Amino acid sequence: MEQTNPADIAVLDDAFDTIEQDARALVGGLTERSGAWRPDHDSWSIAECLDHLAIANRVYLRAMEPAAERALKQGSTRRGPAQPGMIGSWFIRTLEPPVKPRLRTRAPQRIQPRRAPSLGDAFTQFLASHDEVRSFLRRYAQIDLAGARFPNPLVRGIRFSLATGLHVIAAHERRHVWQAWRVRESAARAVAA
The beta strand positions in the chain, using DSSP E, are 149-151, 159-161
* Domain map (residue ranges) of the chain: 7-192
- Has residue 2 got a pLDDT over 60? no
Residue 193: per-residue pLDDT: 63
Which phi and psi angles does 161 have, rounded to 5°? Answer: -75, 160
- Has residue 191 got a pLDDT over 80? no
- Has residue 192 got a pLDDT over 60? yes
- Name the more confident of 83 and 1: 83
Amino acid making up residue 185 = E
Instruction: Name the pTM for this structure.
Output: 0.94
Q: Which residues pair with 122 in a beta bridge?
A: none
- Taking only the tens place, the pLDDT of each residue in 54-107 is 999 999 999 999 999 999 999 988 888 899 989 899 999 999 998 777 767 788
Pick from 179, 181, 184, 176: nearest CA to 56? 176
Amino acid making up residue 58 = R
Spatial contact of 92 and 167, defined as CB atoms under 8 Å apart = yes
Pick from 111, 127, 91: nearest CA to 16? 127
Reported as a pLDDT band with limits 50, 70 and 90, residue 188 is: confident
Q: Which residues pair with 149 in a beta bridge?
A: 161
Reported as a pLDDT band with limits 50, 70 and 90, residue 47 is: very high
The Cα 181–Cα 178 span in angstroms is: 5
Residue 1: per-residue pLDDT: 41
Q: What topology does CATH give the domain 7-192?
A: Four Helix Bundle (Hemerythrin (Met), subunit A) (1.20.120)
Which phi and psi angles does 167 have, rounded to 5°? Answer: -70, -35
Residue 105: per-residue pLDDT: 78
- Taking only the tens place, the pLDDT of each residue in 117-142 is 999 999 999 999 999 999 999 999 99
**Cβ within 8 Å of residue 47, ≥6 positions away:** 35, 36, 113, 116, 117, 118, 119, 121, 122, 123
Q: What is the mean pLDDT of the chain?
A: 92
Spatial contact of 152 and 63, defined as CB atoms under 8 Å apart = yes
The Cα 77–Cα 186 span in angstroms is: 47
